[in-house]
Amino acid sequence: MKKYVIAMDQGTTSSRCILFDRQGNICSVAQKEFPQLYPQPGWVEHDPMEIWSTQMGVTMEAMQKVDARAGEIAAIGITNQRETTVVWDGATGEPVYNAIVWQCRRTADRIDRLRQDGWWEAIRRRTGLIPDAYFSASKIAWLLDHVPGARARAERGELKFGTVDSWLIWNLTEGRVHATDRTNASRTMLYDIHKLCWDREILDYFRIPASMLPQVYPSSHIYGATGRFGGSIPIAAAAGDQQAALFGQCGFEPGDVKSTYGTGGFLLMNTGGQAVRSTKGLLTTIAASAGQPVSYALEGSVFVAGAAIQWLRDELRMLRSAPQSEGFCTAVEDTRGVYVVPAFAGMGAPYWEPYARGTIVGLTRGVTKEHLVRAVVESLAYQTNDLLLAMKEESGLPIASLKVDGGASANSFLMQFQSDLSDIRIDRPRCIETTALGAAYLAGLAVGYWQDLEEIRANWGRERAFTPSIPADIRERLVRGWNRAVRCALAWAREED
């Protein structure tokens, strides 16, 4: 009798494992942080062996907590930090270098060169991405250029590349399977999301031998089996974290959107079989799906979301804890005309102004700490609204509701304000571990633990809904004020001399 599905949730700062039952309940959790390595300013690395050993450790721990045996596990689903790049020796399994983490900026100049070389448009069109050092392509090229002997070994077919899902699958199967899924492949900047294959010309441009690349499969697929936990367990899913979260939120239909309010913010909209090309700086990417036909998604990110609340807490010392912000917000009626644009690291979609900086406008003598805190919390909603509007416009799809998750989605003031501002119903689910849940669902579907999407939908439970409660004229006035504040942040960037 299969009791559980295991989700391996390999994140940027920690490895986690959750055991879910058929109702999607969390039965056991274990989590372990691992070191972040900063060898130079702007560089970020992880030790791939730490990624592997912590993921193994937490999986054993989570199984032990409920005394689960391998025979009781229906399947393992993997979800992972995206884009992070590992290159290892196919014979020994030894990494040739540390994992280069998605945040790492070491290859920014390579991307500048790509633009000069006239590759920008072709890469944008074929991969759906805006060329950037975040994605794996320039990281692999860097490893081949800088690790002594790596290029020759790669050309002899001795080296393997993988995102973290591939690295885990390789180790779980003791080197028998070198594979990835389409959602992870679509973040490498080497994968043609329309033709569903590695792009030979982009590989040639980056001088990456095709023999290094994993086989690409749908997210919900039996990749192999692992004998690492005392018996054979199928590895039946892999998906990048944001795509797994959209699936975990039951975002199966075109027009379904999820919004994550974490340190940063991530919006993903399912666009079905249509790969929508954005002109507002959204990314086009592959969504996790259970069937064969591919589904696409539009993705937008907010660089500074919960991080702005951390700033209030840690730098301005206005809060003792992030949840305390809610009480300040509801203690006042509005922000007294104050807007905060937390463009600490420039502005992303739909503005794309890397030199914009944080801006506070509308200060008057009566403005208190409460007003300022509220303006910061509201800024999370305004930024999300900008992305939602862009998605709605570009996809042409109606958005029925917004499904939310992430730490700051616990802030009910913020959720109500988002609903008012975007004139949309917000559904906050009971299970906010949507990333792990999505990986579990994808794996369970592949092995028949769950029969179909209907069975999974039946598991989805709403903890609370928020519905719009303000008239259109007030909404318009709020948005006008925000747009004006954004223009101030942009003007600051442009007038630099």
Shortest Cβ distance from residue 413 to ligand ADP (Å)?
Answer: 8
Phi and psi for 270 in degrees, rounded to 5? -70, 125
Q: Which residues, other chains included, contact 112 with Cβ-Cβ below 8 Å and sequence gap of 6+?
A: none
Could you tell me the end-to-end alpha-carbon distance of the chain, in angstroms, rounded to an integer? Answer: 69
Q: How would you classify the pairing of strands 26-33 and 99-100?
A: unpaired
**161 versus 303: smaller Cβ distance to ligand ADP:** 303
Break the chain down into helix, strand, coil percent, rounded to 5.
40, 25, 35
**26 versus 410: smaller Cβ distance to ligand ADP:** 410
Candidates 9, 1, 171; CA nearest to 69 is 1
Q: How many CB atoms lie within 10 A of CB 218?
A: 22
Taking CB under 6 A as the criterion, which residues in 168-187 touch ligand ADP? none
**114 versus 414: smaller Cβ distance to ligand ADP:** 414
Taking CB under 6 A as the criterion, which residues in 204-263 touch ligand ADP? 262-263
**199 versus 405: smaller Cβ distance to ligand ADP:** 405
Shortest Cβ distance from residue 131 to ligand ADP (Å)?
Answer: 24
Shortest Cβ distance from residue 348 to ligand ADP (Å)?
Answer: 16
Torsion angle of the four alpha carbons 21, 25, 28, 34, in this order, in degrees rounded to the nearest 10: 110
Shortest Cβ distance from residue 309 to ligand ADP (Å)?
Answer: 4
The SS3 call for residue 305 is: coil
Tokens of 299: 């993705």
Site string for ligand ADP, 399-438 (x = CB under 6 A): -------xxx-xx---------------------------
Shortest Cβ distance from residue 260 to ligand ADP (Å)?
Answer: 7
Shortest Cβ distance from residue 323 to ligand ADP (Å)?
Answer: 4
Amino acid at 278: S
Amino acid at 248: G
Q: How many residues of this chain interact with ligand ADP, rule: CB under 6 A?
A: 15
**107 versus 242: smaller Cβ distance to ligand ADP:** 242
Place of tokens 């991530």: 266
Shortest Cβ distance from residue 143 to ligand ADP (Å)?
Answer: 27
Dihedral class, residue 335 (left if φ above 0, else alpha if ψ from -120 to 50, else beta): alpha
Q: Which residues, other chains included, contact 291 with Cβ-Cβ below 8 Å and sequence gap of 6+?
A: 218
Shortest Cβ distance from residue 22 to ligand ADP (Å)?
Answer: 26
Cα separation of 297 and 276, whole Å? 8
**254 versus 306: smaller Cβ distance to ligand ADP:** 306
Site string for ligand ADP, 151-170 (x = CB under 6 A): --------------------
Shortest Cβ distance from residue 75 to ligand ADP (Å)?
Answer: 25
**189 versus 408: smaller Cβ distance to ligand ADP:** 408
**408 versus 431: smaller Cβ distance to ligand ADP:** 408
Contact 386, 301 (CB under 8 A): no
Q: Which residues, other chains included, contact 101 with Cβ-Cβ below 8 Å and sequence gap of 6+?
A: 12, 36, 44, 45, 46, 81, 84
Shortest Cβ distance from residue 380 to ligand ADP (Å)?
Answer: 8
Place of tokens 């899913």: 237
Phi and psi for 22 in degrees, rounded to 5? -65, -25
Element (H, E) at 425: strand 425-429
**103 versus 274: smaller Cβ distance to ligand ADP:** 103
The SS3 call for residue 200 is: helix
Rounded CA Rg of the chain: 22
Amino acid at 190: L
**60 versus 322: smaller Cβ distance to ligand ADP:** 322
**79 versus 395: smaller Cβ distance to ligand ADP:** 79
Shortest Cβ distance from residue 259 to ligand ADP (Å)?
Answer: 12
Shortest Cβ distance from residue 19 to ligand ADP (Å)?
Answer: 20
Dihedral class, residue 232 (left if φ above 0, else alpha if ψ from -120 to 50, else beta): beta
Taking CB under 6 A as the criterion, which residues in 81-140 touch ligand ADP? none
- Based on the shown chain and the rule CB under 6 A, indicate whether residue 31 belongs to the binding site for ligand ADP: no
Site string for ligand ADP, 302-341 (x = CB under 6 A): ----xx-xx-----------xx-xx---------------
Tokens of 305: 């979301």
**92 versus 321: smaller Cβ distance to ligand ADP:** 321
Tokens of 492: 């600051």
By the criterion CB under 6 A, which residues form the site for ligand ADP? Answer: 262-263, 306-307, 309-310, 322-323, 325-326, 406-408, 410-411
